[in-house]
């Protein structure tokens, strides 16, 4: 779950299943009591219909926590121009050494944390280019690129076109942030 509508959908599902829960947050449900396995199976099936999955292993929870932390950072709940390195931030969020987290992430997602974060940043750039809210220099700066050239090069490597070409294009394909990595 990566948006308020996702939270509302899961809350609605839980209410329709008449189950007690404390709250639903991005990526997690806090239950009043430990749910029974029979409920979890039914809940998992209904989540799948909504396009969500239930994370059952510690490893998958760490990977999802990493993805949510990166999305939060990108969506403004963090500071892209942060003082601490990204590796330190993610280690703090998950409680794992970055080397272990990086290995887990790669094995679960088939890409590195850095590749995933680049994908998130490029999707955010595509959003801003589509809505023409920022110019290319402002986008590069907002996404913490060292230069417009670096941003443009990375954008072209990921999308096959420059930011200017994308902006002028009639076909502006985009992905939801929670779908980054699924197309690989």
* 95-145 pLDDT, tens digit each: 899 999 999 999 989 999 999 999 999 999 999 999 888 999 999 999 999
Domain ranges within the chain, ordered by starting residue: 4-49, 58-112, 115-179
* 32-84 pLDDT, tens digit each: 888 888 888 898 888 888 877 777 678 888 888 899 889 888 887 555 667 67
Report the SS3 class of residue 57: coil
> What b-and-e string marks burial along 129-159, b requiring 16 or more CB atoms within 10 Å of the CB?
beeeebebeebbbbbebeebeebbebbeebb
What's the CATH fold of domain 115-179? Arc Repressor Mutant, subunit A (1.10.10)
What DSSP line would sit under 130-165, residue for residue? Answer: HHT-S-HHHHHHHTT-S-HHHHHHHHHHHHSS-HHH
Q: Which whole number is the average pLDDT over 23-28?
A: 74
Q: Which whole number is the average pLDDT over 6-23?
A: 87
- pTM value? 0.73
Do residues 33 and 27 lie in contact, with contact meaning Cβ atoms separated by under 8 Å?
no
22: pLDDT strictly greater than 50: yes
- The CA distance from 152 to 161, in Å, is 9
Q: How would residue 184 be classed by pLDDT, with cut points 50, 70 and 90?
A: very low
């Amino acid at each position: 779950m990566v948006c308020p509508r996702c939270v509302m959908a899961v809350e609605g599902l839980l209410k329709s299943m008449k189950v007690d829960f404390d709250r639903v947050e991005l990526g997690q449900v806090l239950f009043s009591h430990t749910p029974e396995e029979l409920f979890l199976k039914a809940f998992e099936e209904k989540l799948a219909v909504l396009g969500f999955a239930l994370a059952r292993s510690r490893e998958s929870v760490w990977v999802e926590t990493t993805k949510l932390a990166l999305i939060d950072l990108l969506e403004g709940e963090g500071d892209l121009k942060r003082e601490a390195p990204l590796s330190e931030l993610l280690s703090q969020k998950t409680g794992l050494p970055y080397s272990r987290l990086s290995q887990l992430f790669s094995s679960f997602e088939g890409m590195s944390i850095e590749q995933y974060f680049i994908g998130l940043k490029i999707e955010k750039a595509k959003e801003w280019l589509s809505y023409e809210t920022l110019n290319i220099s402002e986008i590069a700066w907002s996404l913490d690129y060292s230069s417009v050239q670096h941003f443009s090069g990375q954008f072209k490597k990921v999308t096959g076109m420059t930011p200017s070409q994308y902006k002028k294009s009639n076909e502006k394909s985009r992905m939801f942030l929670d779908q980054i990595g699924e197309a690989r």
